[in-house]
Structure 1
Amino acid sequence: MTDKLSRRSLLRMGLGGVTGLALPATVATAVAARLALEAAHTSPSVDRFAVPLTIPPVLTPYDAAEPTDIYEIRQVTAEAEILPGLRTPVWTYGGVYPGPTIEARRGRPVSVRHRNELPVPTVVHLHGGVTPPDSDGYPLDLVLPRGVHDWQGHHLGAGPPPGGTAGVAHGERTYHYPNDQAAATLWYHDHRFDFTGPSVYRGLAGFYLLRDEAEESLPLPRGRREIPLMIQDRFFNEDGTFFYPSLDPTLVERPGVQALFADGVRGDTILVNGKPWPFLTVDGARYRFRVLNGSNARAYRLRLDPPPPGGGGLVQIGSDAGLLPRPIPLDEVYIGPGERYDVIVDFSRYSAGSRVVLANGDGDEPTAQVMRFDVGSRATDDSVIPETLVADLEPMPPIDAPTTRSFVFTGGQGGIPATINYRTFQADRLDASVPLGETEIWSIKVDPEHPFHPHLGHFRILDRNGEPPEPQDSGWKDTVQIRAGVVRVAIRFSTYTGRYVLHCHNLEHGDMMMMANYEVIP
């Protein structure tokens, strides 16, 4: 296999007939062309704030015997009413869209048996989880559909061989999650090699909320005032079906999207928990929102419109990997694909009858609004935002760590293949070996914008383009949206050895091989 740009790379972009690199000359050209194509495809009109927000159901273990909670999830096709009055075929975990929420406890292991009854292979990744390599969801650890014993798809022919870590499973696989990490908002989603983008787009995503005693001892909003929000964007056809520009709509053989969408599929309809621009009726009290950007490629600049008197309406209490040391009042939160932010909104700062929009400051019509909160009268509220959330959070690692690595994320726009360090992913190539238990400094340079996500590893952001991190960068993270330039992180790998991947969490870029292997060694 060659490490450099190849015809296979171009095929992923729908450019297999191109010789050389006679591609659009600039990023601006490609973006303009994509916008023109998006304008040509418009989803059916939907009234804003006309449907109530729904909360994904919490999954019940079928066996809660000590010492492990055991779940079973059937991956099945279904139909969901996403746009009012229309039925959308979806791929689901457990028949619901989005998937059901798993609530786990620190120190109590969870085993999830996934049974694949879909027409294509799947892989399940617990995003943010500290998991052994054979349960991490390595993209080539395929679970073949039930009854299928010899998959003949493109990725088993011209592409890398299957079975990167746990091998190929037939019909089902049980993933084991030790949950030996701090309470955090995690999520699980499909991670099949070549086809992560369309599989997540069709519905394969759900929350995984990890709780612990330290978090539960805090007087934070809970119960019906603790709400997960999965924000996604989608295109729809007139009949309510998803529009996704796959080169192979069956997702069986040819990976990739139409060339004009190579910089990521960004839809014109905003969904929250699977509903378009929903509303939520709230009391005049504090609410905790676990916000997940589950979109394939779109980033959001979230803010309240109107802001509460005095500003600081989004009080950040947590990041990807858990609670912050102290709450941070913010006017807006910038959230890239795969990132999570826990925020508290005190609706008692608004008068009863107020209508408050969760807006997207980076969006244009129709993506400038996300959902609406309809504020009721003041209600009894015994919650408090403590001045200290985590007293013993591990401090920022030293900046003079002995090992520094550099990763350059380029391409995915303007007809340029997506690469890391100017190489596309190869399953049989090891790109880095990282000693277990050591902290390293990694420099991630991007052109022009990419969300960086390493499996297994959690990190602290040291600086952005040589400047101090932004306030929302506090705490331990597993994903960071990088908006041009360089971000340096101090990263650690604890508990497990084995092979993992790091990649761009723009899912179309990941499918175009903006991914690399690394190995944690003893």
Structure 2
Amino acid sequence: MPESRDNRPLGLTRRQVLGIGGAFGLLTTASLATAAALARRPATTGAQLRSTAALPPPYQVPLPLPAVARPVSTAGGTDHYDIVQRETIAEILPGLTTRLWTYGGTFPGPTIEARRGRPVTVTHHNELPVPTVVHLHGGRTPADSDGYPTDLVLPAAWPDTPHTMPGMAGMSGTDGHGTGGHMTDPRAVTSRLKRDYTFPNDQRPTLLWYHDHRMDYTAPAIWRGLAGLHIVRDDTEDSLGLPAGPREIPLMITDRAFTADGALSYPSLDPTLRTTPGVTEPHLAGVLGDVILVNGAPWPVHETDATRHRLRLLNASNARHYELEALTEDGRRLDLVQIGADQGLLATPVTHRTLPTAPAERHDLVIDFATAPIGSLVHLVNRLGTGRTRDVMAFRITRPATDDSRIPPVLATDLPDWHRQDAVRTRDFAFRAGRMNGGHGWLIGGRPFDPARTDVTVPLGDTEIWRLIADVHHPVHLHLVGFRILTRGGRPPLPHDAGLKDTVSLRPGESAEIITRFDGYRGRYLFHCHNAEHEDMGMMANLEVV
């Protein structure tokens, strides 16, 4: 690999980027063949919790469809929404009740339907017992509404300490962190009880999602229910003739575990989420549940007709990876025709027999049920799962129907045309485990996250190539911008890498190159691993667009 042409604080040399040590050994140029073999195993990173609740059989609970939020005002060319973050009690497992933290009282939260170029302002009211932060994942959002992890919305009884907050587990004392487990962010902008987030929606139509992004506590907050969908549409996409209306189905896939009385099980060091971040030792690499939920329901079934359907799929799990496959009852695979990725439509459709998906990735798929017998089930299964985690959901084909939808051979002509020679600099980043002050953490470029430190500075409008390398599974997410995947392990990208992405799934020992243009807005943003436990334990870095 050529050397980096820009040596920022986290821009590593070739020798440094290939040195990912700790418990996972050392990768060097000579060992990349070994790394490629590692990339095929294991199937996941993390440890699975075991539910003690009585679990229902699969395909008994109807698939819920998230409610679409209604604006409280459309004045001035902006759609205004009010969402209250509050605790609620819901029946997720039949016959048991579960306490959740929610947007608007439901899990998933209400879906926001937006039009390209029409701004949306959401007033979030915090009625939870802890601070919150809202991030619109995949949004081209001004920095003051991007949901930076220290820009807290404080609840009524929370002490007013806007610049100091509990530090990350095992990370106090050095690298800019204060003693006593606290750290300081002089740029934090906090509010009490509520905050307005404005999303311009000046971007390609796509499926986005919003979730809590509070520093150190993102993982348990999402686990408790703080996640919802945000869809951007435009007239061009609407005119393509893709399946629509009841044949367009959002699917938020998550995994959870439950105690005998129906409560969510999660291995927090401090279940109040107030003073001590982190999880117990067995789960430092990520928390996996043994119950697969789709739109908040366990192994649900959806009744539908024998036509094409558009599945707007989000992996909102903390750490679980899936490899999805659609099987008829007689064992036939149905094609999964990918029409879109994280950041909107592909140029042309890509047909998959199986489709891997990492935490935070979105896939826009069309599946045709026309060949499935009436009355039969089509199972959506996870080839990476075992036992109950192999099942995801099912579709019951109830009736024949006419189908006037289509999949055009050309889907989009507005994808950015970035070339390697357009990049003004190349940067290298290693995502690895490490030891910090006697504790375990997850590092980017050898350092844990510090909100007071600028890690990467990029002039607005510059195009860059980033080379990423991982020790274990790391789904790497960039805020503000989408990117194209140029290579994996020095080879062409995989079929599911097509299109414009904002999250790239790195497998164990794997490297990837991505290219992007940093446009849109100036300000402070993030890039991080979207294994939520990893990001809570230091695997984030600051990106300053100037």
Q: Which has the higher contact order (CA 8 A, sep 6+)?
A: 2
Match of 1:113 in 2: 123
2:238 paired residue number: 216
CA distance in 1, matches of 2:407, 2:388: 34
Compute the displacement of 1:162 (Å): 4.6
Per the alignment, do residues 442 and 308 of structure 1 end up closer, same or farther by CA in structure 2, a change over 3 Å counting? farther
In 2, distance between residues paired with 1:438 and 1:25? 35
Instruction: After TM superposition, list the pairs within 5 Å mapping 1:480-499 onto structure 2.
Output: 480-484=504-508, 485-499=510-524
Alpha-carbon distance change, 85 to 132 in structure 1, aligned in 2, over 3 angstroms: same
CA contact (8 A) 1:399 1:490 kept: no
Q: How many Å apart are 1:261 and its aligned residue?
A: 0.2
1:101 aligned residue (103, 111, 114): 111
| Mean Cα deviation higher: 461-470 or 350-359 | 350-359
Partners of 1:217 and 1:31 in 2: CA distance: 39
Paired residue secondary structure (2:458): strand
Q: Is the 8 A contact 2:255 2:289 kept in 1?
A: yes
Out of 245, 252, 260, the position equivalent to 1:238 is 260
Residues 212 and 247 (structure 1), Cα distance of their counterparts in 2 relative to 1, 3 Å cut = same
| 266 and 282 in structure 1: CA distance in 2 versus 1, 3 angstrom threshold | same
> Given that residues 45 and 472 in structure 2 are in contact (C-alpha distance below 8 angstroms), is that contact kept between their aligned partners in structure 1?
no
Give structure 1 regions of 4+ aligned residues with deviation exceeding 6 angstroms. 23-28, 30-34, 307-310
Q: In 2, Cα distance between the equivalents of 1:334 and 1:358? A: 13
- 1:347-426 pair list within 5 angstroms: 347-398=369-420, 401-411=423-433, 416-426=440-450
Q: Extract unaligned runs of 5+ from structure 1.
A: 5-22
Mapped to 2, the partners of 1:243 and 1:468 lie a distance apart of 41
Shift in alpha-carbon separation, 1:271–1:164, aligned structure 2, 3 A: farther
| Separation in 2, partners of 1:402, 1:318 | 28
User: 2:171 is matched with which residue?
Assistant: none
| Cross-structure match for 1:478 | 502
1:465 to 481, 489, 492: 489
The 10-residue stretch of structure 1 (260-269 or 431-440) with the greater mean CA deviation from structure 2: 431-440
Matched ranges for 1:69-88 at <5 A: 69-88=79-98
**Corresponding residue SS for 1:426:** coil
Paired residue for 2:538? Answer: 513
Map 1:312-327 → 2, pairs under 5 A: 313-327=335-349
CA shift for structure 1 position 366:
1.4
> Would you say the 8 A contact 1:503–1:514 is kept in 2?
yes
| Counterparts of 1:490 and 1:430, CA distance in 2 | 21
| CA contact 2:45–2:286 (8 Å) conserved in 1 | no
Q: Offset at 1:38?
A: 3.6
Question: What's 2:3 paired with?
Answer: none
- Map 1:199-348 to 2 at 5 A: 199-306=221-328, 313-348=335-370
Give me the TM-score of the superposition, normalised by structure 1: 0.90
Shift of 1:496: 0.4
Match status 1:131 vs 2:141: yes
Q: Is the Cα–Cα contact under 8 Å of residues 418 and 516 in structure 2 kept in the other structure?
A: no
Letter in structure 2 aligned against 1:381: D
State the match for 1:188 in structure 2.
210
CA shift digits 1:373-405 (9 cap, x unpaired): 111232011111111111232224335622000
Alpha-carbon distance in 2 for matches of 1:448, 1:158: 27
Whole-angstrom distance in 2 between the partners of 1:378 and 1:54: 23
Residue 419 of structure 1: how far off its partner (Å):
0.5
1:105-149 CA distance string (max 9 Å, x none): 111000000010000000000000000101000001011013545
Partner of 2:184: 161
- Counterpart in the other structure of 2:467: 443
Rounded Cα–Cα distance in structure 1 between residues aligned with 2:252 and 2:453: 34
- The answer on whether the counterparts of 1:221 and 1:383 sit within 8 Å (CA) in structure 2 is yes
Change (3 A) 1:358 1:117: same
In 1, the alpha carbon distance for the partners of 2:45 and 2:137 equals 33
* 1:44 maps onto 2:66 in alignment: no
What SS does the aligned partner of 1:417 have? strand
Q: Which residue identity does 2:210 align to in structure 1?
A: Y
* Cα distance in 1 between the residues matched to 2:320 and 2:379: 19
Q: Distance in 2 between matches of 1:262 and 1:269?
A: 20
Deviation at 1:355, TM superposition (A): 1.0
Distance 2:330 2:242 in 1: 20
Matched residue of 2:144: which SS?
helix
Deviations for 1:212-262, whole angstroms, at most 9, x for unmatched residues? 111111100111111100000001000000000000000000000001100
Structure 2 CA distance for partners of 1:32 and 1:332, relative to 1, 3 Å: closer
- Taking the aligned partners of 1:456 and 1:46, their CA distance within structure 2 comes to 40
Q: Take 1:494 and 1:44, find their aligned partners in 2: how far apart are those partners?
A: 50
Quote the Cα distance in structure 2 between the aligned partners of 1:31 and 1:388.
34
Deviation at 1:509, TM superposition (A): 0.3
Shift of 1:350: 1.6
The 8 Å contact of residues 46 and 288 in structure 2, kept in 1 or not, is answered as: no
Q: Quick one: distance in 2 between partners of 1:471 and 1:136?
A: 30
Give, in angstroms, the shift of residue 67 of structure 1. 0.9
Q: Once the 2 structures are TM-superposed, how far is the Cα of residue 518 of structure 1 from its aligned partner? A: 1.2
Q: Is the 8 A contact 1:101 1:208 kept in 2?
A: yes
> Residue type of the partner of 1:455?
H
Could you say which residue in structure 1 is the equivalent of 2:63?
53
Q: CA deviation at 1:471?
A: 1.1
The answer for the alignment partner of 1:15 in structure 2 is none
* 1:372 partner letter: A
Q: Quote the offset at 1:329 in angstroms.
A: 1.1
Question: Is contact 1:319–1:476 with CA below 8 Å preserved after alignment?
Answer: yes
Give, in whole Å, the separation in 1 of the partners of 2:359 and 2:502. 12
Count matched residues.
496
